[in-house]
Structure 1
Amino acid sequence: MKKRMITLLAIALIFGACLGWGKPASAAEGSFKDVPANHWAKKAIDYAVSKGYLKGEGNGSFRPNAAVTRAEFAAILDRVSTNEVKANVGSFSDLAGHWSEKEVNEAAAKGFLNAGDYSNGFKPGTALTRVEMAKWMASGLAAKDEDYKTALSDTKETIVPVTEYYKGGLNKADYPYVSVVLGTGLMSGYPDDSFGAGKTTTRAEVAVILQRYEGTQEKAASSFQDLSELREVGLTGTNVKTIAPQLSITDGGLLKIFGKNVNLRNGIATIQIHHYIFIPGSSMADLGSVYGKMFVDKEYMVNPKTYLVLIDETVTPNADNFTYQKYLGAIDNDFKAGFRVEGDVSTKFGYKTPPNDGSHFFDKGKGIRMWSAGMFIKTLPENKDRYSTTVTANDGTSISVVYKK
């Protein structure tokens, strides 16, 4: 009998080891022949394996460059998530008997994915796209914390600081999900500042993202400045309260003036203001705003004593031969606004800004939407305790941006 008990115990231990039971893998156990010591994601891979979020292939390899499938990522999210499981969330028609059936259904029950989005089948072996990944993680955060759910609503109309925002390649319905993952740092763009919505993600990249998600799910949405900016811009058209809280917007706020006609000097043109974006940074390493890379070329610096202000406006000339120089001459405020966005960032991101070579840009009676740049001082001269600029619409509506000591 004793021999039989020992045999059964040995079988159980072997069976458990095969299923990945037991203590987490040590650093040595987490080493893979295809993940050298100098691999950029080695620490994240070893951590993910030690926590049981990811597993090797059983032959000593990890396949760090392999694309992650829908089934794999759903299972991984189920493992890392601290969300509560909710019942009656639907099921997936093509998962019966699949190895991932239980974990995919649990991931859905935790709020990461919706069975209704896959009415033609989940297709578990399909490589997961980056926009799907963004949607799943943002949805999971929203299911856990009501403020993340509100953040998804707040960012429906925001400006997303990726090249696809103006150039195309990112559906408007995906703005909120991409905003949440960018705003929390869960995901980032590529070196060319594109998001790559349709691209896939490797197992190595997922290991890094998982480590971020593990921490992010325990943090409040309000703790992320970038997300706060994206939310404020989506709701109000400006990020001033997040970036420059010492500035006050009076007379009802910028929304009161946005979209209304404002006459330039001598009625030579009218403008409609759509957005004000404030960038406070003093170096390319720390621009201080999620929008910095969108509007500040690496060859140009932001004066540390000022805020760079980007103005999204529609300019409609009322005169023939309206030039950029005439436009600058018609600007009448203390803002020193209306200058072109310097460098190549406008071309990179695909928005318009006035040319600096005198080429034709404006046509009488035709509105052209563009971004111009201005500045606003951060600190007041010793002999002043207030600095302001005012914009007044044709119907008399006005707003003031005021700096007070």
Structure 2
Amino acid sequence: MKKMMISGVTALALLTGGIVGFGSVGSSVEAAQATTKFKDVPATHWASSAINSAVEQGYFKGYADGTFKPSSPVTKAEMASILGRLSDQPNATTQEQNNFTDIPEWAKSGVSIAIAKGFINPSNYKGKLDAQGALQRGEMATWLTQGLTVVDPEYKQAISDVTNTVVPAKEYFTGKLASAQKNAVAVALGTGLMSVANDKTFGVDRTTTRAEVAVLIARYAAVAKTKPADFQGLNELRAVGLTGTNLNIIAPKYQKAGPEKFSESYDYSKVTGDFGKVRNQELVTVTNYADLKVKNWIIVNPYVKETERSIYYPVFVDEKDRLLRGAYYSFTEFDISIKNSMNQLQAGSLIHSPTINALTSPSTKAFSEYGPKHINDLLGPKGVFIVKNPVYWGHGLLHFDKSLNPGVRLTLKDGTNYTVVPN
């Protein structure tokens, strides 16, 4: 990212920590040296390198008392001004006007430029930005991902593709992730632009700190130079959003079964390898205790190195977990409509498959921390379901060993047959 000059003494004072009488960025060496003197940013601070870089490039400066205040919140006006100074960010094709009535004089130009660069969409607001309010992480995700759509239109398509995806953040599983922010949060996570905290939450309502902004500036620059298709995590989120599964990305050897897998009399035109055609549709069940739909189907390969893992690995799998005979983990979100009553064992008999298995939910620490619905939350005495329409995640295995009959087959009541096998 190029170093940019700052115009306006007052704007700089507010933006970089309150030191007035400073009209330009100055020497990068001087700025870098200044960061070593921050009493509250030791070399061991998690964002020390990013803070050094942000100060060197003139985005921030320390306070008069020798501190940086890395945990202090950043206001919307401050963040807009920072984003407006990203010289590598192109202007949006369609220009919107800065019609906000609550922007302080020092920030008006910066906010207008941030709007022109596509970070802020005034039509999402009602004339007021709440410019002096602290910027929350959910809104930060929205601003940054909107900026990406200007850099590469494929990011706009990605934001659309993840509308129905499973977001690997606790708020999604607990129903606390607002639909208005879901897509932005998904893309922010899928690109590595932002991440969940130790408590597994994205923290949409948490304020954004000066240290976080320093990190995000560098991350945004890197993501903006990368094609959406180059992020495996984003590819998974898009695939799940569009089809309900990440199978083709994590286990591409599983493909539509050929006609030789069926009898000559079978109508092969009804066979599909597109999971999207059976997602959220009523399936033919082995037993008649309930009607069954599959909302989502997530595959996790536990054998790859950490940098190549599924974005869903941390949600379902503990670090110590490994499988035998090369099987992958299979996690299925079921939507069941019980006809009279049904117990846990009977749920497991609805479909005879080691992969699409409604008998149990994951018992991992990770699963409990992220908070997806567990089958045990829905069972009463003697393992009988206490709700008529249970929706929960099941745990199965995706096999590759042909001696274990690894094919996965689901049939809809209209005759559509989803069958995939490892080739």
TM-score after normalising by structure 1: 0.86
- 3-state SS of paired residue (2:407): strand
Residue in 2 aligned with 1:128? Answer: 135
1:44 aligns with 2:50: yes
Q: Quick check: 212-221 or 360-369, which moved more?
A: 360-369
Distance 1:17 1:209 in 2: 27
Residue in 2 aligned with 1:371? Answer: 393
Distance 2:287 2:305 in 1: 39
The structure 1 residue matched to 2:316, chosen from 271, 295, 298, is 295
Distance 2:103 2:282 in 1: 60
Distance 1:70 1:292 in 2: 34
The structure 2 residue matched to 1:332, chosen from 352, 356, 359, is 352
Residue in 1 aligned with 2:264? Answer: none
Residue in 1 aligned with 2:292? Answer: 271
Evaluate the alpha carbon distance shift between residue 188 and residue 52 of structure 1 in structure 2; reply closer, same or farther with a 3 A threshold.
same
Residue in 2 aligned with 1:29? Answer: 34
Gaps of 5+ in 1: 1-15
User: Contact 1:94 / 1:123 at 8 angstroms: preserved in 2?
Assistant: no
- 3-state SS of paired residue (1:309): strand
User: Contact 1:314 / 1:370 at 8 angstroms: preserved in 2?
Assistant: yes
Residue in 2 aligned with 1:255? Answer: 276
Evaluate the alpha carbon distance shift between residue 79 and residue 336 of structure 1 in structure 2; reply closer, same or farther with a 3 A threshold.
closer
Distance apart, 1:285 and its partner CA: 5.2
What amino acid sits opposite 2:100 in the alignment? S
User: Contact 2:137 / 2:203 at 8 angstroms: preserved in 1?
Assistant: yes
Evaluate the alpha carbon distance shift between residue 80 and residue 332 of structure 1 in structure 2; reply closer, same or farther with a 3 A threshold.
same
Compute the RMSD of aligned alpha carbons: 2.9
Evaluate the alpha carbon distance shift between residue 61 and residue 354 of structure 1 in structure 2; reply closer, same or farther with a 3 A threshold.
closer
CA deviation vs aligned residue, 1:259-309 (integer Å, no higher than 9, x gap): 232243243433111111111123895681111222224564455711111
1:77 aligns with 2:101: no
1:114 aligns with 2:102: no
Distance apart, 1:398 and its partner CA: 1.1
CA deviation vs aligned residue, 1:112-160 (integer Å, no higher than 9, x gap): 0012233242232211000111000000001111000101100111111
The structure 1 residue matched to 2:223, chosen from 216, 225, 230, is 216
Residue in 1 aligned with 2:203? Answer: 196
What amino acid sits opposite 1:220 in the alignment? K
1:391 aligns with 2:410: yes
User: Contact 2:280 / 2:293 at 8 angstroms: preserved in 1?
Assistant: yes
Gaps of 5+ in 2: 1-19, 258-270
1:309-324 equivalent positions in 2, closer than 5 A: 309-318=330-339, 320=341, 322-324=342-344
Report the structure number with the largest CA radius of gyration.
1
TM-score after normalising by structure 2: 0.82
* Percent identity (aligned): 32
Distance apart, 1:366 and its partner CA: 2.6
1:308 aligns with 2:329: yes
User: Contact 1:263 / 1:269 at 8 angstroms: preserved in 2?
Assistant: no
CA deviation vs aligned residue, 1:86-120 (integer Å, no higher than 9, x gap): 47411143366621211111011000001223324
Distance 1:347 1:365 in 2: 21
Distance 2:81 2:33 in 1: 25
The structure 1 residue matched to 2:170, chosen from 163, 176, 185, is 163
The structure 1 residue matched to 2:72, chosen from 56, 61, 66, is 66
Evaluate the alpha carbon distance shift between residue 204 and residue 391 of structure 1 in structure 2; reply closer, same or farther with a 3 A threshold.
same
Evaluate the alpha carbon distance shift between residue 21 and residue 296 of structure 1 in structure 2; reply closer, same or farther with a 3 A threshold.
closer
Distance 2:386 2:125 in 1: 50
Evaluate the alpha carbon distance shift between residue 21 and residue 328 of structure 1 in structure 2; reply closer, same or farther with a 3 A threshold.
closer
User: Contact 1:280 / 1:302 at 8 angstroms: preserved in 2?
Assistant: no
Distance 1:159 1:260 in 2: 18
Residue in 2 aligned with 1:9? Answer: none
User: Contact 1:44 / 1:208 at 8 angstroms: preserved in 2?
Assistant: yes
What amino acid sits opposite 1:64 in the alignment? P
Residue in 1 aligned with 2:363? Answer: 342
User: Contact 2:40 / 2:68 at 8 angstroms: preserved in 1?
Assistant: yes
Q: Quick check: 89-98 or 218-227, which moved more?
A: 89-98
**How many residues are matched?**
385
